[in-house]
Each structure stands twice: as structure tokens, then as C-alpha cells.
Structure 1
């Protein structure tokens, strides 16, 4: 059995998943280009920012914040560890948990990247008619994924 071509057009034009993926890729490409002078990608920026806390977070809390599974997060941490931008350590209160910490080099990269992010983020928000509304709608969708067991 084949799906008729007539089905393709309305899916292409109305699929929220497709439109969200396309927008996410386009935005990520813009941030990747902008953040190149800081030596990181948009994904690495998000990861480093998620570690910028007074106390080192557990890997599980960072995975939840970024809506990543632990395996994917661990794979994304490896290049940052190799560059000595982050450090992982066992949690002294829970041997099963790993704590993630920015190193001084990681803090320096983040300090270089933040002004770039601020500038491009403001530029992108100016292109949108209702950035706060979009953010609210995206948050609703991300929370529905949590409820459905998607982003654990």
C-alpha cells in the first residue's frame, strides 16, 4: 500500500513537527555561524549555559532541562571534556550520580559567547511578531512531551 501524493502536500504545509524542526535547524545554523568565533556550536552553548550554576548540577537534571536522554547528553559532553571546558565528577552524596562543572576555560568560552548570543537573539526576536507568545507556546509543547514520557 502506498500513501497518495495528495497526502504529502497538506502534511508538508501543516505538520507542526516538520515546521518546528525546520525552524530549529535554521535558528541553530544562525547561532552556529555567529558562535564560531567563540569556538562552540549552538548546542554546546546551550550545554555550557546549563552548567553555569552556583553548584554543579547532576547529569540527570541537565538532561531533563535540555530534553535529552542521558546517552545523548553524555555523547555531547565528550568534546567539551576533551577541550577541558567541563569536568565531570562523582557525586559524593550519591555514587551513581555524576556532577557536571564548568572549568575556568569553559567559563572563558561562555563569557566570549554570551555577547554574541545576546546580539543574535535580539535580532531574531525583532524578526518575530510575538516572541513571548511563541516562547509560551513552545513551552506548552515541551511540557506536553514531558507528560507523555517523551523527554525523560
Structure 2
């Protein structure tokens, strides 16, 4: 037991050494910072790049569908959508049933995405090279597998 907190916390656990959630969040923040640095000259951040790319690949989408595709909750997606709308990179319209909103990429958004692709490809290739292609592929497979785990 830790004398200060009254809990059984070893130094390894308290530093996040065996906590999967802590380590994944830390890696997420690190990767986002690296990708954001790579995209710095493009005018968009990593999360905004993901929104533009999803819309370019899938076309017009309901906000709720796009949020699910990106693994974001609606409020997080909305925070990423607002600056893209202000910049004219995407458009949000009221859907026909008035309870939903549709979002689509604009031509300016496509141009921005095309301009950002070389930076994204370069950082992606750098990661692959640093980790090794097989290790990077295995990591993606392991991480994708966690998306089916519900904690039970």
C-alpha cells in the first residue's frame, strides 16, 4: 500500500507502465503532435485532415454518420467542423428531415486536402520506416482489434 494515498499503487502502475488506457492516450497525444507538426504548413491539423479525408472518400455525410466513421462523439466532431466551415473547406446544411445536418467537402477543402497529402504521406512513411513495416502493420491490427472490445 502507498502510505500517502492508502491505495495499492506500485510506481510502475502510477507512472502508467501497465495501464493500457494511459499508454494509448499518451501515444495518441504524441502521434497527434508529430502529425500536427508535419501538417503545420498546410493550415489544418491532424483531426481536421481526418474529417476532410473522410468526406473526400465517402462524399456527403450526416454529422452523426461522420462522427461514427471517425470514432468521435458529435461534440468533438462539431469542434473540428466549425473552423473548417469558417475556412470554407466544408459546408454543413440542414438535412431534409430537419433533425439532422449533412456535411460535405468543398472544392477549397479538396484543394487543401490535396496540398496536405504530401506532408501526411511523408510522416506516415517516416513512422513506417522507424517502426518497421511489419511492426507498424501489426500495431494497426492490434489497435483495430481493441475497437471490438467492450470491456466485458
TM-score, length of structure 1 as denominator length: 0.86
In structure 1, the gaps of 5 or more residues are none
Q: What is the aligned partner in structure 2 of residue 122 from structure 1?
A: 125
Alignment of 1:134-149 (within 5 A): 134-145=139-150
Report the secondary structure of 1:14's partner residue. coil
1:20 aligns with 2:24: yes
2:12 to 9, 14, 20: 9
Report the secondary structure of 1:144's partner residue. coil
CA displacement at 1:54 relative to structure 2: 5.3
Moved more, 11-20 or 113-122: 11-20
Higher relative contact order (CA 8 A, sep 6+): 1
Q: In structure 2, how many angstroms separate the alpha carbons of the residues matched to 1:31 and 1:90?
A: 32
Structure whose CA Rg is larger:
2
Could you list the per-position Cα deviations for residues 26-61 of structure 1 after superposition, in whole angstroms to 9, with x for gaps in the alignment? 111111111011111111111111111353011111
TM-score, length of structure 2 as denominator length: 0.86
In structure 2, the gaps of 5 or more residues are none
1:78 to 82, 94, 119: 82
Contact 2:59 2:105 in 1 (8 A): no
Report the secondary structure of 1:95's partner residue. coil
Q: 1:46 to 1:58 in 2, by over 3 A?
A: same
1:108 to 91, 104, 111: 111
Report the secondary structure of 2:83's partner residue. helix
Q: 1:113 to 1:10 in 2, by over 3 A?
A: same
Q: What is the aligned partner in structure 2 of residue 88 from structure 1?
A: 92
RMSD: 2.1
1:66 to 54, 66, 70: 70
